[in-house]
């Protein structure tokens, strides 16, 4: 069990010291103020109320996105789904029946798509993201689902915290929990490989692969004991997995052997995309952006000066690059500055 709920600090005298990099200035000096008595847990209303239409939805925390030509759909905190028809220049907010943070989105075709998030919610759209219906949510605390992949309009795989793997064969009418017995690692990301298999990466160096559309995953050798947050497949077929503290690994043999790629950064890498011109772009925390023109054998690191946290990368049909993260959508001309 690697879930760190309490202090597991190697440095002494750090009770509950947390990275809250964005707020450290405010909450400098961490000191435990554990409440003496806890009131009975009241359920929040995040699940029952819909996302609030907000002027700044496209500038809130966005975690994942997909593009079809110049049409872009991105999902994020507070049940925000934002849709752009012009490559990210302007955005409208989709109608979403939940305020839980949505962590991932995947489309079977331009109109039919799926989004997953906290509270175990799974949403479906049939109109390209404008409106969504709730197809699943878990009871109780509702551990988050962290990624989703639509194999086609009927077959969908969702993965999440504590080893959760949910599959449907009927377009979301019924969901089957197919998690491995006793598995409690967080499953962070899915990647469909070109050979038809489905790659899965997660906590504690987890790398797995499924040949049957996500019902059964098999372990692949792990390159690293730390968490992996994402994966991309290079144009030459090489597989790249990346995660905690700037770690990036490449495999040329479908995931059997891994080679570490030096990134020169210690910020965690959270998302990536392969561009139409075969360039690979990976993004991460603290303004980190990596680019590679050789299929990920070597990378060039850029740290954007405002050190914003990124979570996803999307390229539009015209080659415009969108970085998704804590400040919403960042639109770049194509090249990452500077």
Task: Tell me which residues in 153-182 interact with other proteins (CB under 8 A).
Answer: none
Residue 111: half-sphere exposure toward Cβ, Cα within 13 Å: 2
Is the Cβ of residue 305 or residue 333 nearer to other proteins in the bound state? 305
Burial 284-307 (b: 16+ CB within 10 A, else e): bbbbbbbbbeebbbebebbebeee
Question: Which of 114, 132, 229, 258 touches other proteins (CB under 8 A)?
Answer: 229
Q: Which stretch binds other proteins (CB under 8 A): 14-22, 65-73, 126-134, 274-282?
A: 14-22
Question: Least distance from C-beta 333 to other proteins, angstroms?
Answer: 23
Read out DSSP for 83-128?
Answer: EESSTTSS-EEPB-S--SPEEEEEESSSS-EEEEEGGG-EEEESST
Interaction of residue 326 with other proteins, rule CB under 8 A = yes
Question: Least distance from C-beta 255 to other proteins, angstroms?
Answer: 21
Q: Which stretch binds other proteins (CB under 8 A): 28-36, 128-136, 149-157, 294-302?
A: 28-36
Specify whether the CB–CB gap between 165 and 214 falls below 8 A: yes
Interaction of residue 227 with other proteins, rule CB under 8 A = yes
| Closest of 101, 96, 93 to residue 117, by C-alpha | 101
Question: Which of 54, 90, 133, 298 touches other proteins (CB under 8 A)?
Answer: 54
Interaction of residue 40 with other proteins, rule CB under 8 A = yes
Specify whether the CB–CB gap between 191 and 150 falls below 8 A: no
Interaction of residue 338 with other proteins, rule CB under 8 A = no
Is the Cβ of residue 34 or residue 194 nearer to other proteins in the bound state? 34
Question: Which of 85, 109, 183, 225 touches other proteins (CB under 8 A)?
Answer: 225
- Distance between CA 198 and CA 240 in Å, rounded? 14
Interaction of residue 264 with other proteins, rule CB under 8 A = no
Beta-ladder partners of 92: 83
- Distance between CA 291 and CA 56 in Å, rounded? 29
Interaction of residue 260 with other proteins, rule CB under 8 A = no
- Distance between CA 329 and CA 96 in Å, rounded? 19
Question: Least distance from C-beta 152 to other proteins, angstroms?
Answer: 25
Is the Cβ of residue 22 or residue 278 nearer to other proteins in the bound state? 22
Interaction of residue 278 with other proteins, rule CB under 8 A = no
Interaction of residue 37 with other proteins, rule CB under 8 A = yes
- Distance between CA 113 and CA 125 in Å, rounded? 5
Interaction of residue 48 with other proteins, rule CB under 8 A = no
Q: Which stretch binds other proteins (CB under 8 A): 84-92, 165-173, 288-296, 300-308?
A: 300-308
> How crowded is residue 102: how many other Cβ atoms within 10 Å of its Cβ?
32
- Restricting to residues 128-157, name those near other proteins by CB under 8 A: 140-142, 144, 146
Interaction of residue 304 with other proteins, rule CB under 8 A = no
- Distance between CA 91 and CA 81 in Å, rounded? 10
Residues 6+ apart with CB under 8 A from 233: 191, 193, 194, 199, 239, 240, 274
Convert residues 82-121 into a mask of x (bound to other proteins by CB under 8 A) and - (unbound). Answer: ------------------xx-xx-------------xx--
């Amino acid at each position: 069990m690697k879930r760190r709920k309490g202090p597991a600090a190697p440095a002494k005298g750090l009770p509950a010291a947390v990275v809250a990099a964005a707020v450290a200035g405010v909450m400098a000096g961490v000191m435990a103020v554990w409440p003496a008595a806890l009131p009975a847990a009241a359920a929040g209303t995040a699940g029952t109320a819909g996302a609030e239409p907000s002027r700044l939805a496209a500038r809130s925390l966005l975690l994942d996105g997909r593009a079809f030509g110049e049409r872009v759909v991105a999902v994020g905190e507070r049940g925000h789904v934002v849709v752009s028809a012009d490559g990210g220049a302007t955005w409208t907010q989709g109608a979403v029946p939940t305020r839980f943070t949505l962590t991932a989105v995947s489309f079977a075709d331009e109109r039919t798509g799926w989004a997953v998030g906290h509270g175990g919610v799974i949403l479906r759209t049939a109109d390209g993201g404008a409106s969504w219906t709730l197809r699943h949510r878990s009871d109780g605390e509702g551990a988050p689902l962290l990624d989703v992949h639509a194999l086609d309009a009927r077959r969908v795989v969702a993965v999440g915290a504590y080893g959760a793997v949910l599959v449907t064969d009927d377009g979301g009418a019924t969901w089957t929990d197919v998690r491995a017995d006793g598995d409690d690692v967080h499953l962070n990301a899915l990647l469909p490989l070109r050979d038809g298999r489905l790659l899965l990466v997660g906590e504690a160096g987890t790398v797995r692969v499924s040949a049957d559309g996500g019902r059964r995953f098999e372990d692949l050798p792990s390159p690293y004991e730390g968490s992996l947050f994402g994966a991309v497949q290079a144009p030459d077929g090489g597989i790249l997995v990346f995660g905690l503290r700037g770690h990036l690994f490449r495999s040329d043999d479908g995931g059997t052997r891994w080679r570490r790629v030096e990134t020169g950064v210690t910020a965690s890498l959270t998302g990536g995309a392969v561009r139409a011109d075969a360039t690979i772009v990976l993004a991460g925390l603290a303004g980190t952006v990596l680019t590679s023109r050789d299929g990920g054998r070597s990378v060039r690191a850029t740290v954007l000066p405002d050190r914003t946290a990124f979570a996803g990368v999307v390229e539009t049909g015209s080659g415009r690059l969108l970085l998704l993260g804590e400040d919403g959508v960042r639109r770049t001309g194509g090249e990452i500055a500077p």
